[in-house]
A = this chain, B = another copy of it.
Amino acid sequence: MPRAVAGPEIERLIQLLARVPGLGPRSARRAALHLIKKREQLMGPLASAFEDVLGKIATCRVCGNIDVRDPCSICTDVTRDPNLLIVVADVSDLWALERAGALNARYHVLGGTLSPLDGIGPDDLNLASLIARAHDGTVQEVLLALGATVDGQTTAHYITELLRDCGVRVTRLAHGVPVGGELEYLDEGTLSAAIKSRTSL
């Protein structure tokens, strides 16, 4: 426990900031000092942004997304393709796909991946409502946008089996060389997958 260098209010602020991902104990002090110095331009607005979000945040009852409205703004967006449902493990994956902006579809957030080692089984994931949505007659394709990890692939196989009889096409993201990636730094598994899935020019 480092020695307290300021009043208890500032020390408490530093301790809370140190728990924000991306900030450690040292950068929390730097962040606290910056926030204090920029209290009118940054700390005040951040405090009111917190209050705004705290009062309104909800988990979407349809897809499991986090938003300030329920159902979320994606589920209620009528311009999105209702035929395609993208399954993601976490809201952070949904955000990443939205930033890529490659698809204008709806999502289904599982809330994790199957992980026997961590004690996460099918009942811990948002699967019942996924099956219901896949059966609703509108969805034609379920894209499993899960990580290329053991847990991600296990979950993808499990969901593929679950959805086998409901008449929707189940797809997964392609494996291959990341855009901007150098071959010499890639692992063998990725290179093998990229060779296997090679395309004509």
Contacts and interface: CB of A to CB of B under 8 A. Distances in A.
Most chain B beta carbons < 10 A, residue from A3, A10, A39, A99: A10
B67 A6 contact: yes
Contact of A9 (B10, B12, B53): B53
A135 B107 CA distance: 70
A43 interface: yes
Contacts of A13: 46, 49-50, 52-53
A120 interface: no
A139 interface: no
A49 B51 CA distance: 12
A80 to B, nearest CB: 13
A69 interface: yes
Contacts of A33: 66, 91-92, 95
Contact of A68 (B2, B3, B7, B52): B7
Interface residues of A, number: 53
A157 interface: no
Interface stretch (A23-31, A81-89, A191-199): A23-31
Most chain B beta carbons < 10 A, residue from A28, A99, A101: A99
B10 A67 contact: yes
Contact of A95 (B5, B45, B46): B5
Nearest to A99: B2
A45 B16 contact: yes
A73 B7 contact: yes
B9 A49 contact: yes
A162 interface: no
Nearest to A13: B49
23 contacts: A6-B66, A6-B67, A6-B68, A6-B73, A7-B68, A10-B66, A10-B67, A10-B68, A20-B23, A20-B35, A21-B30, A22-B30, A29-B95, A30-B92, A33-B66, A35-B50, A36-B53, A37-B66, A43-B50, A43-B54, A44-B50, A47-B47, A47-B54
